[in-house]
Amino acid sequence: MVVGASVAGLTAAVTLRTLGYDGRLTLIGDEPHTPYNRPPLSKQILAGTWEPDRIKLRTDEELSDLDARLLFGKSATGLDTAARRVVLEGGDSVSYDALVIATGVTPNSLPGAHHLAGVHLLRTLDDALALRADLRHKPDVKVAVVGAGFLGSEAAAAARRMRLDVTMIDPRPVPMRRQFGDRIAGLVGRLHTKNGVSMRCGTGVRRFFESGGRVTGLELTDGTLLDADVVVVAIGAAPAVGWLAGSGLELRNGIECDPTCRAAPGVYAAGDVASWHNDHFGCRMRLEHRLNATEQAQAVARNVLGAGQPFAPVPYFWTDQYDAHIQAYGIFPAEAELAVLHGELEGGHFVVAYGHRGRVVGVLGWNSPCELRKLRQLVVDRAPWTSIVPTQPAVWPGRHLSASLR
Amino acid sequence: MQVTLHQDKCVASGQCVLAAQDVFDQRDQDGVAVLLDERPPAELHDDVRQAAAVCPALAIALADA
Ligand SMILES: Cc1cc2nc3c(=O)[nH]c(=O)nc-3n(C[C@H](O)[C@H](O)[C@H](O)COP(=O)(O)OP(=O)(O)OC[C@H]3O[C@@H](n4cnc5c(N)ncnc54)[C@H](O)[C@@H]3O)c2cc1C
Ligand code: SF4
């Protein structure tokens, strides 16, 4: 049985079938839609260049070929690991031999705001369509984006493409600092400013103003008053594990799994909800990245069928903002060192490496997809930092390095 | 096997090249994928299936041929 019917859940189900599992299969998801792809929600769907039909993960025919019991629009409300049963809303329960949990994350909300019309989260297709309608509801809409991470940044970029007035608010001094560190985050901040977003970094939101149940503006913690017709709240998300309370599973930052993504006998987790020990980096991680949801679900399907293999990937993500296509492999610790491997930081095209404890742990490319792919191997190899930034020139000359990466 | 690549959906992630480098490549200027072989030989089919499965943009479609 699979709970959570988005990319990780569906991929687990599909992979089980591909690997030859021909027993009973149930896929449970609480959204009313058939499974769809989330990254375009904050990009093409919000901008209005794509309609929802384009983001379906599988056609209806492909879904019926899965030969699974599909319970969409139904949430799981409890888990009994001893009896191996999942409880559904309404009280029915379904038994399983093996369970894959892929319930993703739920966006964090701001206290005292979400009862107001005009205030939006951005996680589901319904969220994106509601936000899109609101951005178009009259000319000259003023937009406030709270949170300057990936989602907030992409929403701001989409709203600017619609030529709306956009202010982005974040308590941290630069956007995406947590993801990229100060240097690269500074470039993202400048990108927004250059594209006409008013950046309010280093402040939070104190309160909202309303008229007739609709948001009209907000007051920031530094005292600034802003008019706003639409507010996008993009302040991170928490693993969707509420339904697992009392199940006995370890729930800290996500469902705690071993290196094979197993949480308990017969229970596995994949995608945004899963926290597991990645042996490649020697640390526990939980990723909210599109590719990881696929790769982890594939690994889990293999392990459900007995492979018992650790899942130790090099993570990958991308984000599109204005004309910047940013992609990265690996991890990006705040205290990492940086080295430019290609292009120039100010030039609009570059690849940087992140070094941590003497090893290359990440590479990030800004409008440099081909170069980045070739440099990914440094992270796969956990290349010594000295091979990139030689302390002794003789250790590994730069020429040798670039030649070996072709 | 017949491979179709929807370049308008591609996000230049390069995952298809990592999975099946004889069948996919990326354009130098913007990284958008290009299809090198619409009908790859049987020994590459598993790699191509993996490329289609991991493509984060759902840009690769496979059909029997
Ligand atoms: C707007 C947006 C843009 C993104 N852009 C990018 C990007 O550019 N690049 C990138 O790498 N990543 C991006 N991501 C992240 C990527 O989409 C996620 O990592 C991916 O969707 C995770 O898949 P998942 O299946 O683990 O979880 P989800 O996609 O969250 O799916 C979980 C599903 O489980 C359902 N569910 C939850 N609880 C229950 C329950 N109790 N019972 C039944 N069903 C339940 C949920 O409703 C949901 O449908 C983006 C995410 C969003 C929201
Ligand atoms: S895997 Fe998909 S998105 Fe990535 S380059 Fe290939 S076709 Fe494009």
Residue A12's closest chain B neighbor by CA? B53
Mean pLDDT, to the nearest integer, of A165-183? 84
In this predicted model, what pLDDT tens digit does every residue of A177-194 receive, in sequence order? Answer: 777 888 898 899 999 999
Best residue for ligand 2 mutational test, from B9, B15, B38 (most atoms within 8 Å of Cβ): B15
Tokens of A308: 């018992």
Tokens of A40: 């375009």
DSSP H or E segment with residue A156: helix A150-161
Q: Give residue for tokens 């290349």.
A: A383
In this predicted model, what pLDDT tens digit does every residue of A240-296 receive, in sequence order? Answer: 999 999 999 999 999 999 999 999 999 999 999 999 999 999 999 999 999 999 999
Residue A405 clears pLDDT 60, i.e. is over it:
no
For residue A396, what pLDDT is reported?
36
Mapping DSSP to helix (H, G, I), strand (E, B) and coil, where does residue A331 land?
coil
Residue B1 clears pLDDT 60, i.e. is over it:
yes
In this predicted model, what pLDDT tens digit does every residue of A221-233 receive, in sequence order? Answer: 999 999 999 999 9
**Residue from the list A57, A369, A376 with its beta carbon closest to the beta carbon of B12:** A369
Task: Select from A350, A305, A44 the least CA-distant residue to A183.
Answer: A350
Question: Is the predicted ipTM greater than 0.85, yes or no?
Answer: yes
| Confidence bin at A112 (pLDDT 50/70/90) | confident
**What is the rounded CA–CA span in Å between residue A258 and residue A288?**
18
Task: Select from B27, B28, B30, B24 the least CA-distant residue to B55.
Answer: B24
The more confidently predicted of residues A26 and A138 is A26
Mapping DSSP to helix (H, G, I), strand (E, B) and coil, where does residue B14 land?
coil
Interface check for B4 against chain A (CB to CB < 8 A): the answer is no
- A chain contacts of residue B58, beta-carbon cutoff 8 Å: 37, 55, 57
